[in-house]
A and B are shown apart, each in its own frame.
Chain A
């Protein structure tokens, strides 16, 4: 593993074992993330993005979630083999997570300052109390909140501010990797703009790597260096932002996603949605998982799952691009 690579995921398979059926959430995921890089993980509901993030944090639901196969290397540590005790040290310190809904991700009975310092209490045993108080003030300023408000409770803050607190908690120990699971989806668009602008600044300042999960391609264009598009538990296309937004070659699903977005700059009569729905994860189709909905489906697509077709930084998993 080169010194540039922070995270390496190899052939990850994650399932959810329910009473009746098995849900194949992630099916053979391969991904590398470099230090300081922001990777956008794009996909619709059920694509497996949150499951991937939870696997890296080993926060899959107890009896139900299972990493069946594969390896996740975080800074050369094999997460898949880590014990719960190891993971508790890693979480918050090396990796932290920002969840989607700021309304429910903060403990309503603890003050903001208590919640941020909790992270420090757990991981920074070397810090004295005064140092921790100073650090809390520092982080609050970093995320654009006034230190005067640190003894207030979550319900006294608006949605955007709560999300800033959540981000402050995630940054407290200056982790190497942040997993942001749709952090701005629940926010108003003007607040989203503020938060994204702040996150861009912090990203540069702290050189933290980030996996930014979203379904919004607009947000991806704003903040990400590389983009991976997920469908039915696999990454079907990955590349730099330039590859995804400017390159004419795309996986048909990606083209479909772009076609579904109402474009403000054009006047179109009807949108071009992708027909059908994402496949049932308990009953995935053979061959390419997108083939039942693909307008360019060929015979081989129904039987054989396509491999990666690599073109420099741009990889597409589609038979259309096989050499």
Chain B
């Protein structure tokens, strides 16, 4: 088995609040193979965005390791990080807030190259900007427009072009299509998949939308309150979801068809519990329709139930 491109071991991120420690990411172990897409799914507060940022060291974790090509990048000093930052990039969710309103499109796309000095010749830089714009489907005439003059879909394309500017190997896509209209979402998803095929990119695709994740990911990790509760390839997850939360999540998705209406007994009750100083045991137990006493006794580990299918649940 070759070394996975990205691997996390026991990754934890706790935030200090006046009421106690907020467990944003709690002991997450993931592996992403080169050229694949790992979908990370969960609802608000599950820690998926925090996880993405820790992997890129935009946030420092409280504990754990992040391995890039087998080496722990958390130990890297500033110079070493600058070197590998070219390979690890990010696309953001909000197409409005992720672009500097005072810079033109070409300046935004060129900025990473200028910072890392990968191209110093002005003409070459211009050529590269045009090339990137073409790759993501932005018309040449837009080169000197400002972000506010464009719609969400085009802005997101700028974000993608910027992420590609340094020819990275790995891109964290943090809900890149959630803020877009349905037909634009489809365009952007297709673009991301095409780019992956053409350039051999590896993605961590963070989203709350399970239908999108099925489309784009080879593997999926489901997160709840900072922990990974189920992890397997996407086909298996949709065919045979094991964790009650995954089942509830799948059941909750409104299907555009008259035939499937959600089974009322699987509509989960209640709200998400607090991530501050969580009690030991399964964090989903409070809302789980199948919870038993043992669920709250001690922490539940992620176990491999069948080949490649990991679940953290006392039922198995």
Chain A residues with a Cβ under 8 A of chain B: 44-45, 158-161, 188-194, 196-197, 215-222, 241-242, 245-246, 256-265, 267-268, 270-274, 277
Contact = CB atoms under 8 A, between A and B. Distances in A.
A268 B267 contact: no
Contact of A44 (B183, B208, B235, B250): B183
Interface in B242-284: 248-258, 261-262, 264, 267-269, 271-272
B43 interface: yes
B4 interface: no
A214 B248 CA distance: 23
Given A222-B254, A265-B255, 6 more contacts: A158-B271, A262-B214, A263-B211, A264-B211, A272-B186, A273-B186
B300 interface: no
Interface in B212-266: 212, 214-215, 235, 238, 248-258, 261-262, 264
A250 to B, nearest CB: 13
B64 interface: no
B44 A188 contact: yes
A270 B190 contact: yes
Contacts of B189: 262, 271
B44 A218 contact: no
A277 B261 CA distance: 32
B253 A273 contact: no
B272 A256 contact: no
Contact of A260 (B182, B252, B254, B262): B182
B187 interface: yes
B291 interface: no
B11 interface: no
B212 A190 contact: no
Contacts of A190: 43, 248-249, 252, 267-268
20 contacts: A44-B181, A158-B271, A161-B271, A188-B208, A193-B262, A194-B268, A197-B262, A257-B183, A260-B185, A261-B186, A262-B189, A264-B214, A264-B253, A264-B255, A271-B186, A271-B189, A273-B183, A273-B184, A273-B187, A277-B151
Nearest to A192: B252
B232 to A, nearest CB: 16
Interface string B188-215: 0110010000000000000011111011
B255 A218 contact: yes
Interface string B101-130: 000000000000000000000000000000
Contacts, number: 117
B238 A264 contact: yes
**A interface secondary structure, majority:** helix
B153 interface: yes
Contacts of B271: 158, 160-161, 191
Contacts of B43: 188-191
Nearest to B269: A194
B237 to A, nearest CB: 11
B128 to A, nearest CB: 26
A194 B287 CA distance: 13
A45 B267 contact: no
Contacts of B214: 262, 264
A196 B254 contact: yes
A23 B254 CA distance: 33
B208 A194 contact: no
A217 B254 CA distance: 8
Given A221-B254, A264-B211, A256 B249 contact: no
Contacts of A193: 251-252, 254, 262, 267-268
A216 B110 CA distance: 36
A268 B183 contact: no
B182 A261 contact: yes
Interface residues of B, number: 43
A93 B213 CA distance: 43
Nearest first, the 10 A-B pairs at minimum CB distance are A218-B254, A273-B186, A188-B43, A193-B252, A217-B256, A260-B186, A271-B186, A44-B181, A262-B215, A273-B187
A242 B267 contact: no
Contacts of B44: 159, 188
B253 A189 contact: yes
Nearest to A42: B182
Contacts of A159: 44
Most buried by B among A190, A191, A192: A190
B182 A242 contact: no
Contacts of A264: 210-211, 214, 238, 250, 253, 255
A197 B264 CA distance: 8
A271 B215 contact: yes
B264 to A, nearest CB: 7
B256 A220 contact: yes
A130 B62 CA distance: 54
A273 B153 CA distance: 12
Nearest to A265: B255
B186 A216 contact: no
Contact of B256 (A261, A270, A277): A261
B266 to A, nearest CB: 9
A112 to B, nearest CB: 16
Contacts of A246: 258
A197 to B, nearest CB: 6
Nearest to A260: B186
A169 B77 CA distance: 55
A274 B183 contact: yes
Nearest to B210: A264
A158 B272 contact: yes
Given A190-B43, A277-B153, A242 B258 contact: yes
A189 to B, nearest CB: 5
A245 B264 contact: no
Interface string B43-84: 110000000000000000000000000000000000000000
Contacts of B248: 190
